[in-house]
């Protein structure tokens, strides 16, 4: 082998990849060839997240109906309420008026959340009396009762929202939307107004029931207002997995 041939051999040996470089190249090719999952859609819930069910389509009452109060007013749908999105409007009555779900509507009785937005249109008492099932019974979250400022659960051990440990006071403005959320789990009843938790009540050993009287017309799930006009929108129901932490 002459000098030129030897130089060629040394150069070609340096250009030829060794075993480690060859294995690395093969690994890169395998990775590129492997199937890749499609990216998740923006805003999509994580896999296994509880499904949120809308209870208002914005066009009709759907599963809702005017409640059977003697003083019930004529409920209407406003597609562009006050220049915004659709809302259910319950005009002021001489006593109580509201809406409730058709009893045939499938509805959980435990491990769920109800959310909505509520607005007081006129009047001086509760604009959101949210009646909801709790196992074999039911309760009502009162927002703005007893003259406009009381928030709490009716009834606990036969005591109203104005007279048990869930009772709190707050000022509610006319013409403003409030975000309402109620959570029902085996250990607790919880409720929020906007971002403030207003109820955190442990239910073990306590009697939960509706106040005696016309509020029964809000069953199985209903919204009522007392001598007050109200509007509701973004009504949703979310089932929670059993064992959800309170």
Query: pLDDT tens digit string along 152-193?
Result: 999 999 999 999 999 999 999 999 999 999 999 999 999 999
| Nearest alpha carbon to residue 55 among 241, 216, 223 | 223
Residue-level pLDDT at 18: 52
Structural domain includes residue 245: no
Q: Are residues 27 and 84 in the same domain?
A: no
Q: Are residues 27 and 127 in the same domain?
A: no
Given a cut of 50, whether residue 20 has pLDDT beyond it is no
d(CA 97, CA 229): 9
Structural domain includes residue 41: no
pTM over 0.85: no
CA distances to 59, 140, 186, 222 from 79, in Å: 7, 28, 38, 21
Helix (H) or strand (E) holding 150: strand 150-154
The total number of structural domains in the chain stands at 2
Q: Are residues 199 and 142 in the same domain?
A: yes
Q: Are residues 19 and 106 in the same domain?
A: no
| Nearest alpha carbon to residue 221 among 56, 53, 103, 89 | 103
Range of the domain at 150: 52-239
Residue-level pLDDT at 22: 40
Residue-level pLDDT at 141: 98
Residue-level pLDDT at 49: 54
147 and 125 in contact (C-beta within 8 Å)?
yes
Q: Are residues 60 and 7 in the same domain?
A: no
Backbone CA torsion sign across 156, 98, 93, 194: positive
The residue-averaged pLDDT of 78-107 equals 97
């Amino acid at each position: 082998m002459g000098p030129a041939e030897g130089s060629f051999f040394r150069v070609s040996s340096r250009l030829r990849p060794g075993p480690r470089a060859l294995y690395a190249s093969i690994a890169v090719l395998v990775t590129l060839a492997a199937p890749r999952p499609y990216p998740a859609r923006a805003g999509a819930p994580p896999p296994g997240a509880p499904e949120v069910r809308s209870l208002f389509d914005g066009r009709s009452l759907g599963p809702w109906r005017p409640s059977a109060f003697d003083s019930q007013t004529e409920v209407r749908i406003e597609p562009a309420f006050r220049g915004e999105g659709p809302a259910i409007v319950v005009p002021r009555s001489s006593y109580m008026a509201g809406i409730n779900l058709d009893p045939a509507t499938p509805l959980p009785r435990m491990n769920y959340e109800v959310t909505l937005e509520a607005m007081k249109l006129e009047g001086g008492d509760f604009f959101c009396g949210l009646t909801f099932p709790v196992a074999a019974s039911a309760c009502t979250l009162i927002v703005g009762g007893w003259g406009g400022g009381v928030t709490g659960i009716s009834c606990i051990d036969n005591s109203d929202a104005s007279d048990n440990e869930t009772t709190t006071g707050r000022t509610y403005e006319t013409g403003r939307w409030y975000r309402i959320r109620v959570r029902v789990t085996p250990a607790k009843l919880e409720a929020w107004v906007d971002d403030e938790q207003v109820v955190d009540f442990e239910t073990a050993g306590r009697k939960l029931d509706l106040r005696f009287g016309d509020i029964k017309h809000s069953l199985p799930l209903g919204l009522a207002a007392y001598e007050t006009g109200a509007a509701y929108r973004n009504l949703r129901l979310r089932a929670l997995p059993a064992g959800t932490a309170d």
